[in-house]
Structure 1
Amino acid sequence: MYKKIVFILIFIFISKSFYAQDKLSKVKFGFAYGIGNELKNTNYSYSNRYYKLQVYYSVLQTKHLEYEFLLQPELNFAKHQLLNFYFVKPDDPNYIEKRERYTKLKDIKEYVLNIGFLMRKPILKTASIYVSGSVGPMIIDTETERLSEGFAFSNIVALGISFKINNITFDVRPNFRHVSNAGLKTVNSGYDTTNIDFGLLFSL
Structure 2
Amino acid sequence: MNTFFTANLLFGQDTLFSGRKYKIGFVTGVGFQYIGQLAGNSSHFISLNTDYYYQIKFYQLQYSIAISRKKNFGIELLAQPQYNTTKYKIYPHDDTKDYLTGYEYGLNIGFLFRKNVANNLLSFYMMLSSGPHYASGTPHRQSNGFLFSNNLCAGIDLRIYKALYVDVRPGIRHISNAKFRIPNAGLNDITLTEGFFVAF
Q: TM-score range by the shorter chain?
A: 0.7 to 0.9
2:102 alignment partner AA: I
Match of 2:170 among 160, 174, 196: 174
Structure 2 residue corresponding to 1:155, chosen from 147, 150, 157: 150
In structure 1, the partner of 2:100 is 106
Counterpart residue number, 1:45: 53
**Contact 1:161–1:172 at 8 Å: present in 2 too?**
yes
Question: What is the letter of the counterpart of residue 108 of structure 1?
Answer: G
2:130 pairs with 135, 152, 156, which one? 135
Question: Which residue number in structure 2 is paired with residue 25 of structure 1?
Answer: 20
Map 1:49-198; keep pairs closer than 5 Å. Answer: 49-81=57-89, 82-84=91-93, 105-125=99-119, 126-164=121-159, 165-198=161-194
Instruction: Give the 3-state SS of the residue equivalent to 1:23 in structure 2.
Output: helix
Letter of the 2:82 partner, please give it.
E
- Count of aligned residue pairs for this structure pair: 169
Partner letter of residue 168 of structure 2? V
Amino acid of the residue matched to residue 26 of structure 1?
K
Is the contact between residue 88 and residue 138 of structure 2 (CA under 8 Å) also seen in structure 1? no
Secondary structure of 2:53's partner? strand
The separation in 2 between residues aligned to 1:69 and 1:162, in whole angstroms, is: 16
SS in 1 for 2:18: helix
Aligned-partner residue type, residue 85 of structure 2: F
Gapped regions of structure 2 (runs ≥ 5)? 1-14, 34-46
- Deviation for aligned residue 1:104: 6.3
Stretch of structure 1 that moved more, 115-124 or 56-65: 56-65
Question: Partner amino acid for 2:53?
Answer: S
Q: Does the Cα contact within 8 Å between 1:42 and 1:84 map onto a contact in 2?
A: no
Q: Does the 8 Å contact 2:53/2:92 carry over to 1?
A: yes
Q: 1:41 deviation in Å?
A: 4.2
Q: Which moved more, 1:144-153 or 1:49-58?
A: 144-153
Partner of 1:10: none
Q: What are the ranges of 5 or more consecutive residues in structure 1 without an aligned counterpart? A: 1-19, 86-99
8 A contact 1:42–1:83 mirrored in 2 = no
Larger Rg: 1
**Percent identity over paired residues:** 33
Q: How far does the alpha carbon of each residue in 1:62-88 deviate from its partner, in whole angstroms, 9 at most, with x for none?
A: 233110011111111111112237xxx
Contact 1:114 1:154 in 2 (8 A): yes
Q: Which residue of 1 aligns with 2:198?
A: 202
